[in-house]
Amino acid sequence: MEALSAERLVKVYGNGFHALKGITLSVNSGTVFSLLGRNGAGKTTFLRIMTTQLLPTSGTGVVLGYDVVKEAKEVRKRVAVVPQESKPIYLLTVREHVKYYLMMRGFSMVEASEKARKVIDDLGLNDYVDTLCMKLSGGLKRKVLVAMAVATEADVIFLDEPTTGLDPIARRLVWDVINRVARSGKTVFLTTHNMAEVEAVANEFALINDGKLVAQGSVDEVQRMLPYRMRAEVQATASSPEELLEFGEVVPVGRRFIVYPRSEEDSRRLYEYCTARHVRVSFSPVGVEDVFIRKVVARGAEEKH
Amino acid sequence: MYSSGRWSPVELRKSIRAILALVMVNGIKPVIRSPLWLVVMLMYPLVLIFFIYIFAEYAISEALIGGLVSLVVMSGVAIQADIVWYKVELKFQDMAVASPTPPTVYMIGMAVSELAYSSPAIALFLALMGIKGMLGLSSIPMLIVSMLLCWLSSLSIGFYLSTRISDIRHIWALEGLISIVLSMLPPIYYPMGLLPEWAQILSMLVPTTHAALLAKEAVGIVSLTGYQRLTSLAILLLWTAALLVVAGKKSVWREP
Protein backbone atom coordinates (compact mmCIF):
# COMPACT_ATOMS: atom_id res chain seq x y z
CA MET A 1 0.00 0.00 0.00
CA GLU A 2 1.17 3.52 -0.79
CA ALA A 3 1.76 5.80 2.20
CA LEU A 4 2.05 8.83 0.03
CA SER A 5 2.27 9.80 -3.59
CA ALA A 6 2.72 12.91 -5.64
CA GLU A 7 1.66 13.45 -9.23
CA ARG A 8 3.26 16.25 -11.27
CA LEU A 9 3.57 18.41 -8.16
CA VAL A 10 4.50 22.01 -8.97
CA LYS A 11 5.20 24.87 -6.60
CA VAL A 12 5.89 28.40 -7.77
CA TYR A 13 6.37 30.90 -4.94
CA GLY A 14 5.04 34.44 -5.03
CA ASN A 15 8.45 35.78 -6.08
CA GLY A 16 8.36 33.58 -9.19
CA PHE A 17 10.80 30.97 -7.88
CA HIS A 18 9.98 27.49 -9.21
CA ALA A 19 10.69 25.24 -6.21
CA LEU A 20 9.08 22.10 -7.62
CA LYS A 21 8.86 21.44 -11.35
CA GLY A 22 6.48 18.51 -11.63
CA ILE A 23 7.57 15.93 -9.07
CA THR A 24 6.01 12.47 -9.37
CA LEU A 25 6.93 9.89 -6.78
CA SER A 26 5.40 7.31 -4.46
CA VAL A 27 6.36 5.91 -1.07
CA ASN A 28 5.31 2.49 0.20
CA SER A 29 3.86 2.05 3.69
CA GLY A 30 6.22 0.83 6.38
CA THR A 31 9.37 2.08 4.71
CA VAL A 32 11.93 4.71 5.57
CA PHE A 33 11.99 6.92 2.52
CA SER A 34 14.56 9.63 2.07
CA LEU A 35 14.31 12.61 -0.23
CA LEU A 36 17.89 13.54 -1.02
CA GLY A 37 19.07 16.76 -2.57
CA ARG A 38 21.19 19.85 -2.24
CA ASN A 39 20.10 22.90 -0.27
CA GLY A 40 17.36 24.62 -2.25
CA ALA A 41 16.58 21.53 -4.33
CA GLY A 42 12.92 21.58 -3.25
CA LYS A 43 12.95 18.96 -0.46
CA THR A 44 11.38 21.11 2.24
CA THR A 45 8.81 22.53 -0.16
CA PHE A 46 7.76 18.99 -1.06
CA LEU A 47 7.53 17.96 2.60
CA ARG A 48 5.57 21.07 3.55
CA ILE A 49 3.03 20.42 0.80
CA MET A 50 2.61 16.78 1.80
CA THR A 51 2.11 17.74 5.46
CA THR A 52 -0.55 20.35 4.54
CA GLN A 53 1.55 23.33 5.60
CA LEU A 54 1.84 24.73 2.10
CA LEU A 55 -0.45 24.73 -0.93
CA PRO A 56 0.91 23.42 -4.23
CA THR A 57 0.57 25.51 -7.39
CA SER A 58 -0.58 22.48 -9.37
CA GLY A 59 -0.47 18.69 -9.31
CA THR A 60 -1.73 16.37 -6.60
CA GLY A 61 -0.38 15.05 -3.35
CA VAL A 62 -2.01 12.12 -1.58
CA VAL A 63 -1.25 10.80 1.92
CA LEU A 64 -2.81 7.47 2.91
CA GLY A 65 -5.49 7.97 0.27
CA TYR A 66 -6.35 11.56 1.23
CA ASP A 67 -5.71 14.55 -0.96
CA VAL A 68 -3.45 17.04 0.82
CA VAL A 69 -5.41 20.02 -0.50
CA LYS A 70 -9.03 18.88 -0.42
CA GLU A 71 -8.82 16.55 2.58
CA ALA A 72 -6.21 18.31 4.70
CA LYS A 73 -8.09 17.58 7.93
CA GLU A 74 -7.92 13.84 7.31
CA VAL A 75 -4.25 14.05 6.39
CA ARG A 76 -3.46 16.02 9.56
CA LYS A 77 -4.90 13.27 11.76
CA ARG A 78 -2.51 10.77 10.23
CA VAL A 79 0.78 12.64 10.02
CA ALA A 80 3.31 14.19 12.37
CA VAL A 81 6.23 16.37 11.37
CA VAL A 82 9.52 17.53 12.77
CA PRO A 83 10.30 20.68 10.78
CA GLN A 84 13.75 21.68 9.63
CA GLU A 85 15.71 23.63 12.26
CA SER A 86 12.91 23.19 14.78
CA LYS A 87 13.84 23.53 18.43
CA PRO A 88 12.22 22.38 21.63
CA ILE A 89 10.81 24.95 24.04
CA TYR A 90 13.63 25.80 26.42
CA LEU A 91 11.63 25.94 29.63
CA LEU A 92 9.85 22.61 29.23
CA THR A 93 11.12 19.20 30.26
CA VAL A 94 11.36 16.23 27.93
CA ARG A 95 8.24 14.65 29.45
CA GLU A 96 6.25 17.89 29.18
CA HIS A 97 7.11 18.30 25.52
CA VAL A 98 5.70 14.93 24.59
CA LYS A 99 2.73 15.07 26.96
CA TYR A 100 1.51 18.54 26.04
CA TYR A 101 2.04 17.99 22.33
CA LEU A 102 -0.17 14.91 22.55
CA MET A 103 -2.80 16.86 24.48
CA MET A 104 -2.65 19.53 21.80
CA ARG A 105 -3.53 16.83 19.29
CA GLY A 106 -6.57 15.85 21.36
CA PHE A 107 -5.33 13.05 23.64
CA SER A 108 -6.54 13.07 27.23
CA MET A 109 -4.06 13.90 29.98
CA VAL A 110 -3.97 10.26 31.13
CA GLU A 111 -3.43 8.92 27.60
CA ALA A 112 -0.84 11.61 26.88
CA SER A 113 1.10 10.84 30.08
CA GLU A 114 1.07 7.11 29.38
CA LYS A 115 2.16 7.49 25.76
CA ALA A 116 4.84 9.99 26.77
CA ARG A 117 6.22 7.56 29.35
CA LYS A 118 6.32 4.77 26.77
CA VAL A 119 7.98 6.72 23.99
CA ILE A 120 10.54 8.24 26.35
CA ASP A 121 11.37 4.73 27.48
CA ASP A 122 11.46 3.36 23.92
CA LEU A 123 13.76 6.10 22.69
CA GLY A 124 16.13 5.86 25.63
CA LEU A 125 15.35 9.30 27.03
CA ASN A 126 14.64 8.08 30.56
CA ASP A 127 17.71 9.72 32.04
CA TYR A 128 16.50 13.12 30.85
CA VAL A 129 12.77 12.80 31.42
CA ASP A 130 12.56 15.75 33.83
CA THR A 131 15.45 17.73 32.40
CA LEU A 132 14.70 21.13 30.91
CA CYS A 133 15.33 21.05 27.18
CA MET A 134 17.64 24.07 27.33
CA LYS A 135 20.10 21.85 29.20
CA LEU A 136 20.16 19.10 26.55
CA SER A 137 22.77 18.60 23.82
CA GLY A 138 21.87 19.24 20.17
CA GLY A 139 21.38 15.54 19.49
CA LEU A 140 19.10 15.04 22.47
CA LYS A 141 17.05 18.09 21.52
CA ARG A 142 16.41 16.57 18.09
CA LYS A 143 15.60 13.29 19.77
CA VAL A 144 12.94 15.04 21.89
CA LEU A 145 11.33 16.51 18.77
CA VAL A 146 11.33 13.11 17.10
CA ALA A 147 9.84 11.62 20.28
CA MET A 148 7.00 14.16 20.09
CA ALA A 149 6.21 13.07 16.54
CA VAL A 150 6.57 9.36 17.25
CA ALA A 151 4.35 9.48 20.35
CA THR A 152 1.41 10.71 18.27
CA GLU A 153 1.22 7.24 16.70
CA ALA A 154 0.73 8.97 13.36
CA ASP A 155 0.94 6.61 10.41
CA VAL A 156 3.44 8.73 8.53
CA ILE A 157 6.20 10.65 10.26
CA PHE A 158 7.93 13.42 8.34
CA LEU A 159 11.41 14.50 9.41
CA ASP A 160 12.88 17.51 7.64
CA GLU A 161 16.68 17.30 7.75
CA PRO A 162 16.66 15.78 11.23
CA THR A 163 20.45 15.67 11.58
CA THR A 164 21.54 18.96 10.03
CA GLY A 165 24.02 20.73 12.25
CA LEU A 166 24.61 17.74 14.51
CA ASP A 167 27.97 16.21 15.26
CA PRO A 168 28.61 12.61 14.12
CA ILE A 169 27.68 11.12 17.51
CA ALA A 170 24.45 13.10 17.81
CA ARG A 171 23.64 12.18 14.21
CA ARG A 172 23.93 8.51 15.05
CA LEU A 173 21.60 9.03 18.03
CA VAL A 174 18.94 10.32 15.66
CA TRP A 175 19.56 7.54 13.12
CA ASP A 176 19.11 5.05 15.91
CA VAL A 177 15.73 6.60 16.72
CA ILE A 178 14.65 6.51 13.07
CA ASN A 179 15.59 2.85 12.82
CA ARG A 180 13.61 2.09 15.99
CA VAL A 181 10.56 3.89 14.58
CA ALA A 182 10.92 1.99 11.32
CA ARG A 183 10.92 -1.31 13.19
CA SER A 184 7.51 -0.40 14.63
CA GLY A 185 6.08 -0.48 11.09
CA LYS A 186 5.53 3.25 10.65
CA THR A 187 6.35 5.06 7.44
CA VAL A 188 9.13 7.57 7.89
CA PHE A 189 9.70 10.23 5.24
CA LEU A 190 12.87 12.19 5.75
CA THR A 191 14.67 14.83 3.76
CA THR A 192 18.42 15.12 3.84
CA HIS A 193 21.46 16.23 1.93
CA ASN A 194 23.58 13.70 3.76
CA MET A 195 24.40 10.66 1.63
CA ALA A 196 25.57 8.63 4.63
CA GLU A 197 22.18 9.23 6.25
CA VAL A 198 20.40 7.68 3.28
CA GLU A 199 22.61 4.60 3.45
CA ALA A 200 22.21 4.38 7.25
CA VAL A 201 18.44 4.54 7.50
CA ALA A 202 16.55 4.54 4.19
CA ASN A 203 15.02 1.55 2.44
CA GLU A 204 14.27 3.73 -0.54
CA PHE A 205 15.25 7.17 -1.65
CA ALA A 206 14.64 9.73 -4.33
CA LEU A 207 17.15 12.23 -5.57
CA ILE A 208 15.79 15.68 -6.29
CA ASN A 209 17.65 18.48 -7.99
CA ASP A 210 16.49 21.94 -8.99
CA GLY A 211 12.86 20.97 -8.31
CA LYS A 212 13.01 17.86 -10.50
CA LEU A 213 13.23 14.18 -9.62
CA VAL A 214 16.51 12.73 -10.83
CA ALA A 215 16.38 9.15 -9.53
CA GLN A 216 14.23 6.95 -7.32
CA GLY A 217 14.49 3.43 -5.93
CA SER A 218 16.20 1.39 -3.26
CA VAL A 219 19.84 2.16 -2.51
CA ASP A 220 20.87 -1.02 -4.39
CA GLU A 221 18.59 -0.28 -7.33
CA VAL A 222 19.84 3.23 -7.76
CA GLN A 223 23.46 2.11 -7.39
CA ARG A 224 22.87 -0.37 -10.19
CA MET A 225 21.94 2.55 -12.46
CA LEU A 226 25.60 3.53 -12.36
CA PRO A 227 27.82 2.03 -15.06
CA TYR A 228 30.67 1.51 -12.55
CA ARG A 229 31.07 -0.68 -9.46
CA MET A 230 34.16 0.97 -7.92
CA ARG A 231 35.24 4.52 -7.22
CA ALA A 232 38.56 6.03 -6.25
CA GLU A 233 39.15 9.24 -4.36
CA VAL A 234 42.34 10.94 -5.49
CA GLN A 235 44.00 13.87 -3.76
CA ALA A 236 43.44 16.79 -6.14
CA THR A 237 46.47 18.91 -5.26
CA ALA A 238 48.89 16.31 -6.57
CA SER A 239 47.24 15.47 -9.89
CA SER A 240 45.33 17.03 -12.74
CA PRO A 241 42.05 15.65 -14.11
CA GLU A 242 43.52 15.27 -17.61
CA GLU A 243 46.14 12.82 -16.31
CA LEU A 244 43.47 10.76 -14.59
CA LEU A 245 41.14 10.54 -17.58
CA GLU A 246 42.98 7.51 -18.94
CA PHE A 247 41.78 5.47 -15.93
CA GLY A 248 38.10 6.36 -16.15
CA GLU A 249 35.54 9.10 -15.67
CA VAL A 250 36.77 11.97 -13.48
CA VAL A 251 34.59 14.30 -11.41
CA PRO A 252 36.28 17.09 -9.43
CA VAL A 253 34.70 17.46 -5.98
CA GLY A 254 36.31 20.07 -3.75
CA ARG A 255 39.98 19.25 -3.14
CA ARG A 256 39.73 15.75 -4.56
CA PHE A 257 38.89 13.93 -7.75
CA ILE A 258 36.45 11.07 -7.86
CA VAL A 259 37.58 8.61 -10.49
CA TYR A 260 35.32 5.81 -11.74
CA PRO A 261 37.64 3.18 -13.23
CA ARG A 262 36.18 1.36 -16.22
CA SER A 263 37.63 -2.02 -15.22
CA GLU A 264 39.66 -3.80 -12.55
CA GLU A 265 42.69 -3.32 -14.75
CA ASP A 266 42.09 0.47 -14.75
CA SER A 267 41.78 0.37 -10.95
CA ARG A 268 45.10 -1.44 -10.64
CA ARG A 269 46.81 1.00 -13.01
CA LEU A 270 45.37 3.99 -11.14
CA TYR A 271 46.65 2.59 -7.86
CA GLU A 272 50.15 2.14 -9.32
CA TYR A 273 50.05 5.62 -10.84
CA CYS A 274 49.14 7.22 -7.51
CA THR A 275 51.55 5.26 -5.33
CA ALA A 276 54.43 6.01 -7.73
CA ARG A 277 53.71 9.74 -7.34
CA HIS A 278 52.95 9.58 -3.61
CA VAL A 279 49.41 10.77 -4.29
CA ARG A 280 46.81 9.76 -1.71
CA VAL A 281 44.16 7.43 -3.17
CA SER A 282 41.43 5.28 -1.65
CA PHE A 283 39.09 2.79 -3.34
CA SER A 284 35.56 1.81 -2.31
CA PRO A 285 32.39 0.39 -3.87
CA VAL A 286 30.08 3.00 -5.40
CA GLY A 287 27.36 4.33 -3.09
CA VAL A 288 24.63 6.95 -2.83
CA GLU A 289 27.20 9.73 -2.97
CA ASP A 290 28.21 8.55 -6.43
CA VAL A 291 24.65 8.63 -7.65
CA PHE A 292 24.49 12.16 -6.28
CA ILE A 293 27.81 13.14 -7.87
CA ARG A 294 26.96 11.74 -11.28
CA LYS A 295 23.36 12.93 -11.38
CA VAL A 296 23.80 16.32 -9.76
CA VAL A 297 27.40 17.50 -9.49
CA ALA A 298 28.66 16.23 -12.85
CA ARG A 299 25.48 17.34 -14.64
CA GLY A 300 25.79 20.77 -13.07
CA ALA A 301 29.38 21.04 -14.26
CA GLU A 302 28.36 19.95 -17.80
CA GLU A 303 25.61 22.58 -17.88
CA LYS A 304 28.11 25.27 -16.86
CA HIS A 305 30.39 24.35 -19.79
CA MET B 1 -8.12 12.81 16.75
CA TYR B 2 -10.67 15.64 16.34
CA SER B 3 -12.71 13.24 14.27
CA SER B 4 -16.36 13.87 15.05
CA GLY B 5 -18.59 16.79 14.12
CA ARG B 6 -17.28 20.32 14.49
CA TRP B 7 -19.19 21.23 17.66
CA SER B 8 -19.69 17.76 19.15
CA PRO B 9 -18.92 17.16 22.85
CA VAL B 10 -15.95 15.00 21.83
CA GLU B 11 -14.62 17.79 19.66
CA LEU B 12 -15.16 20.32 22.42
CA ARG B 13 -13.33 18.13 24.95
CA LYS B 14 -10.37 17.80 22.63
CA SER B 15 -10.32 21.53 22.02
CA ILE B 16 -10.29 22.19 25.77
CA ARG B 17 -7.39 19.74 26.21
CA ALA B 18 -5.47 21.49 23.45
CA ILE B 19 -6.10 24.91 25.00
CA LEU B 20 -5.05 23.59 28.40
CA ALA B 21 -1.86 22.14 26.89
CA LEU B 22 -1.01 25.46 25.25
CA VAL B 23 -1.66 27.33 28.49
CA MET B 24 0.78 25.01 30.25
CA VAL B 25 3.36 25.20 27.42
CA ASN B 26 3.31 28.95 26.86
CA GLY B 27 2.00 30.21 30.20
CA ILE B 28 2.13 28.33 33.44
CA LYS B 29 5.34 26.33 33.02
CA PRO B 30 7.48 29.23 31.76
CA VAL B 31 6.07 31.53 34.47
CA ILE B 32 6.88 29.01 37.22
CA ARG B 33 10.41 28.47 35.88
CA SER B 34 11.14 32.07 35.03
CA PRO B 35 9.10 34.20 37.47
CA LEU B 36 11.05 37.28 36.49
CA TRP B 37 8.44 37.72 33.76
CA LEU B 38 5.85 38.44 36.44
CA VAL B 39 8.04 41.18 37.88
CA VAL B 40 8.64 42.71 34.43
CA MET B 41 4.90 42.69 33.74
CA LEU B 42 4.17 44.37 37.05
CA MET B 43 6.96 46.94 37.04
CA TYR B 44 5.79 48.99 34.07
CA PRO B 45 2.42 50.10 35.49
CA LEU B 46 3.69 50.08 39.06
CA VAL B 47 6.49 52.56 38.33
CA LEU B 48 4.01 54.97 36.73
CA ILE B 49 1.68 54.65 39.70
CA PHE B 50 4.61 55.26 42.04
CA PHE B 51 5.34 58.58 40.33
CA ILE B 52 1.68 59.56 40.25
CA TYR B 53 1.48 58.75 43.98
CA ILE B 54 4.46 61.04 44.66
CA PHE B 55 3.39 63.96 42.47
CA ALA B 56 -0.41 63.75 42.53
CA GLU B 57 -1.67 61.46 45.23
CA TYR B 58 -5.26 62.59 44.59
CA ALA B 59 -5.10 60.90 41.13
CA ILE B 60 -4.17 57.47 42.47
CA SER B 61 -7.58 55.91 41.80
CA GLU B 62 -7.40 57.04 38.18
CA ALA B 63 -3.87 55.64 37.97
CA LEU B 64 -4.95 52.26 39.32
CA ILE B 65 -7.44 51.96 36.45
CA GLY B 66 -4.65 53.05 34.12
CA GLY B 67 -2.42 50.30 35.48
CA LEU B 68 -5.16 47.73 34.99
CA VAL B 69 -5.74 48.81 31.38
CA SER B 70 -1.99 48.75 30.74
CA LEU B 71 -1.71 45.22 32.03
CA VAL B 72 -4.62 44.06 29.89
CA VAL B 73 -3.14 45.75 26.81
CA MET B 74 0.30 44.25 27.41
CA SER B 75 -1.25 40.84 27.96
CA GLY B 76 -2.98 41.08 24.58
CA VAL B 77 -0.24 42.64 22.49
CA ALA B 78 2.41 40.25 23.89
CA ILE B 79 0.86 37.43 21.88
CA GLN B 80 2.53 38.69 18.70
CA ALA B 81 6.01 37.96 20.06
CA ASP B 82 5.04 34.48 21.21
CA ILE B 83 3.37 33.58 17.94
CA VAL B 84 6.37 34.73 15.92
CA TRP B 85 8.74 32.99 18.34
CA TYR B 86 6.89 29.67 17.98
CA LYS B 87 6.48 30.08 14.24
CA VAL B 88 9.85 31.41 13.12
CA GLU B 89 12.36 30.44 15.79
CA LEU B 90 11.09 27.14 17.20
CA LYS B 91 8.91 25.99 14.24
CA PHE B 92 6.44 24.75 16.84
CA GLN B 93 3.57 26.26 14.86
CA ASP B 94 4.53 24.12 11.84
CA MET B 95 4.11 21.07 14.06
CA ALA B 96 0.71 22.40 15.07
CA VAL B 97 -0.37 23.07 11.48
CA ALA B 98 0.50 19.51 10.45
CA SER B 99 -1.65 18.13 13.25
CA PRO B 100 -5.38 17.83 13.98
CA THR B 101 -5.26 20.98 16.15
CA PRO B 102 -7.63 23.52 14.55
CA PRO B 103 -6.15 27.01 14.05
CA THR B 104 -8.82 28.67 16.20
CA VAL B 105 -8.02 26.32 19.08
CA TYR B 106 -4.30 27.06 18.73
CA MET B 107 -4.95 30.81 18.76
CA ILE B 108 -7.33 30.63 21.74
CA GLY B 109 -4.78 28.54 23.64
CA MET B 110 -2.02 31.03 22.90
CA ALA B 111 -4.24 33.95 23.89
CA VAL B 112 -5.33 32.42 27.19
CA SER B 113 -1.73 31.42 27.98
CA GLU B 114 -0.76 35.10 27.96
CA LEU B 115 -2.98 35.61 31.02
CA ALA B 116 -0.60 33.47 33.06
CA TYR B 117 1.91 36.34 32.90
CA SER B 118 -0.49 39.16 33.66
CA SER B 119 -3.08 37.62 36.01
CA PRO B 120 -0.97 37.91 39.22
CA ALA B 121 -0.38 41.60 38.45
CA ILE B 122 -4.06 42.09 37.56
CA ALA B 123 -5.00 40.42 40.86
CA LEU B 124 -2.67 42.79 42.71
CA PHE B 125 -4.23 45.82 41.03
CA LEU B 126 -7.74 44.59 41.82
CA ALA B 127 -6.67 44.08 45.44
CA LEU B 128 -5.29 47.64 45.58
CA MET B 129 -8.54 48.91 44.09
CA GLY B 130 -10.43 46.92 46.70
CA ILE B 131 -8.33 48.44 49.49
CA LYS B 132 -9.07 51.91 48.07
CA GLY B 133 -12.77 51.04 48.20
CA MET B 134 -13.16 51.27 44.43
CA LEU B 135 -14.72 47.86 43.91
CA GLY B 136 -18.37 47.14 44.57
CA LEU B 137 -20.71 44.48 43.28
CA SER B 138 -22.28 46.93 40.84
CA SER B 139 -18.94 47.96 39.38
CA ILE B 140 -17.74 44.45 38.53
CA PRO B 141 -19.86 43.64 35.43
CA MET B 142 -18.85 46.79 33.50
CA LEU B 143 -15.26 46.43 34.67
CA ILE B 144 -15.19 42.89 33.27
CA VAL B 145 -16.85 43.91 29.97
CA SER B 146 -14.55 46.87 29.38
CA MET B 147 -11.39 44.91 30.23
CA LEU B 148 -12.50 41.92 28.14
CA LEU B 149 -13.11 44.12 25.09
CA CYS B 150 -9.82 45.90 25.71
CA TRP B 151 -8.03 42.54 25.88
CA LEU B 152 -9.71 41.24 22.72
CA SER B 153 -8.83 44.34 20.71
CA SER B 154 -5.20 44.23 21.92
CA LEU B 155 -5.06 40.52 21.10
CA SER B 156 -6.34 41.19 17.60
CA ILE B 157 -3.65 43.80 17.06
CA GLY B 158 -1.11 41.24 18.28
CA PHE B 159 -2.50 38.51 15.99
CA TYR B 160 -2.54 40.81 12.99
CA LEU B 161 1.03 42.01 13.51
CA SER B 162 2.29 38.47 13.98
CA THR B 163 1.10 37.64 10.46
CA ARG B 164 2.81 40.68 8.94
CA ILE B 165 6.18 40.65 10.71
CA SER B 166 8.47 37.67 10.89
CA ASP B 167 11.56 39.13 12.55
CA ILE B 168 11.40 38.75 16.30
CA ARG B 169 13.57 41.86 16.85
CA HIS B 170 11.04 44.04 15.03
CA ILE B 171 8.26 42.47 17.06
CA TRP B 172 9.94 43.36 20.37
CA ALA B 173 10.39 46.97 19.25
CA LEU B 174 6.84 47.20 17.99
CA GLU B 175 5.42 45.67 21.15
CA GLY B 176 6.89 48.47 23.26
CA LEU B 177 5.68 51.11 20.83
CA ILE B 178 2.12 49.77 20.72
CA SER B 179 1.97 49.54 24.50
CA ILE B 180 2.93 53.20 24.74
CA VAL B 181 0.45 54.29 22.06
CA LEU B 182 -2.40 52.32 23.58
CA SER B 183 -1.79 52.65 27.28
CA MET B 184 0.41 55.65 28.05
CA LEU B 185 -0.41 58.46 25.66
CA PRO B 186 -4.24 58.28 25.85
CA PRO B 187 -6.01 59.46 29.03
CA ILE B 188 -5.74 56.15 30.82
CA TYR B 189 -3.68 57.07 33.89
CA TYR B 190 -4.94 60.65 34.03
CA PRO B 191 -8.25 62.50 33.47
CA MET B 192 -9.19 63.29 29.90
CA GLY B 193 -9.91 66.90 30.89
CA LEU B 194 -6.17 67.55 31.29
CA LEU B 195 -5.71 67.21 27.52
CA PRO B 196 -6.22 70.10 25.05
CA GLU B 197 -9.39 69.78 23.01
CA TRP B 198 -7.72 68.51 19.81
CA ALA B 199 -5.92 65.80 21.81
CA GLN B 200 -9.18 64.80 23.47
CA ILE B 201 -10.74 64.27 20.02
CA LEU B 202 -7.71 62.30 18.91
CA SER B 203 -7.77 60.15 22.04
CA MET B 204 -11.40 59.24 21.36
CA LEU B 205 -10.14 57.23 18.35
CA VAL B 206 -8.12 54.94 20.60
CA PRO B 207 -9.99 51.89 21.96
CA THR B 208 -8.22 51.95 25.32
CA THR B 209 -9.55 55.47 26.02
CA HIS B 210 -13.06 54.02 25.98
CA ALA B 211 -12.12 50.93 27.98
CA ALA B 212 -10.62 53.21 30.65
CA LEU B 213 -13.60 55.58 30.57
CA LEU B 214 -16.04 52.72 31.09
CA ALA B 215 -13.90 51.23 33.85
CA LYS B 216 -13.53 54.59 35.58
CA GLU B 217 -17.27 55.07 35.45
CA ALA B 218 -17.82 51.58 36.82
CA VAL B 219 -15.71 52.34 39.89
CA GLY B 220 -17.23 55.82 40.31
CA ILE B 221 -14.30 58.03 39.31
CA VAL B 222 -16.13 59.69 36.42
CA SER B 223 -19.79 59.95 35.55
CA LEU B 224 -21.01 59.40 32.00
CA THR B 225 -24.38 60.16 30.48
CA GLY B 226 -26.26 57.21 29.00
CA TYR B 227 -25.34 58.47 25.53
CA GLN B 228 -21.63 58.76 26.40
CA ARG B 229 -21.62 55.30 27.93
CA LEU B 230 -23.30 53.78 24.88
CA THR B 231 -20.95 55.61 22.52
CA SER B 232 -17.87 54.39 24.38
CA LEU B 233 -19.18 50.86 24.46
CA ALA B 234 -20.11 50.97 20.77
CA ILE B 235 -16.69 52.35 19.75
CA LEU B 236 -14.91 49.73 21.83
CA LEU B 237 -17.09 46.95 20.37
CA LEU B 238 -16.57 48.25 16.85
CA TRP B 239 -12.79 48.39 17.30
CA THR B 240 -12.73 44.88 18.74
CA ALA B 241 -14.92 43.43 15.99
CA ALA B 242 -13.02 45.19 13.21
CA LEU B 243 -9.62 44.13 14.57
CA LEU B 244 -10.79 40.55 15.08
CA VAL B 245 -12.10 40.37 11.50
CA VAL B 246 -8.87 41.82 10.07
CA ALA B 247 -6.73 39.47 12.20
CA GLY B 248 -8.89 36.50 11.20
CA LYS B 249 -8.75 37.36 7.51
CA LYS B 250 -5.02 38.07 7.41
CA SER B 251 -3.90 35.20 9.61
CA VAL B 252 -2.30 32.43 7.60
CA TRP B 253 -2.45 28.85 8.85
CA ARG B 254 -1.55 26.97 5.68
CA GLU B 255 0.75 29.05 3.52
CA PRO B 256 -0.45 29.86 -0.01
**DSSP, residue by residue, A183-249:** HTT-EEEEEES-HHHHHHH-SEEEEEETTEEEEEEEHHHHHHTSS-SEEEEEEGGG--HHHHGGGEE
Higher pLDDT, B4 or A3: A3
Q: How confident is the model at residue A66 (pLDDT cuts 50, 70, 90)?
A: very high
Q: How far is CA B45 from CA A277, B61, B121, B180, in A?
A: 78, 13, 9, 11
pLDDT reading at A289 higher than 90: no
pLDDT given at position A81: 97
Q: Above 70 in pLDDT, residue A123?
A: yes
pLDDT at B2: 53
How close B94 comes to chain A (CA, Å)?
Answer: 7
A100–B21 CB contact, under 8 Å: yes
| pLDDT tops 90 at residue A236 | no
Q: Do A80 and B98 make contact, defined as CB atoms within 8 angstroms? A: yes
Cα–Cα–Cα angle for A174, A178, A179, nearest 5°? 115
CB contact under 8 A, B98 and A53: yes
pTM of the model: 0.88
- Domains of chain A (ranges plus CATH)? 2-222 (3.40.50.300), 227-285 (3.30.70.980)
Whether the per-residue pLDDT at B43 is higher than 60: the answer is yes
Q: What is the per-residue pLDDT for A176? A: 86
Strand, coil or helix: what is B195? coil
**B255 with A80: Cβ contact below 8 A:** no
Partners of B90 on chain A (C-beta within 8 Å) are: 86-89
pLDDT at A268: 94
Residues 93-112 in B contacting A (C-alpha not used; CB under 8 Å): 94-101, 106, 109
Q: How far is A93 from chain B (nearest CA, A)?
A: 10
A186 pLDDT higher than 70: yes
Q: Helix, strand, coil: what percent of chain B each, to 5? A: 80, 0, 20
| Closest C-alpha among A192, A184, A131, A128 to residue A158 | A192
Q: Using pLDDT thresholds of 50, 70 and 90, give the confidence band for residue A301.
A: low
d(CA B235, CA B210): 7
pLDDT at B4 over 80: no
Distances (CA, A) of A59 to A8, A36, A56: 5, 21, 7
Taken as a whole, chain B contains a residue count of 256
Give the chain A residue whose CA is nearest to the CA of B101: A105
Give the tens place of pLDDT for each residue, B188-241: 999 898 899 999 999 999 999 999 999 999 999 999 999 999 999 999 999 989
Complex-level ipTM beyond the 0.85 threshold: yes
Q: What is the pLDDT of residue A171?
A: 83
Q: In angstroms, what separates the C-alpha of A204 from chain B's closest C-alpha? A: 24
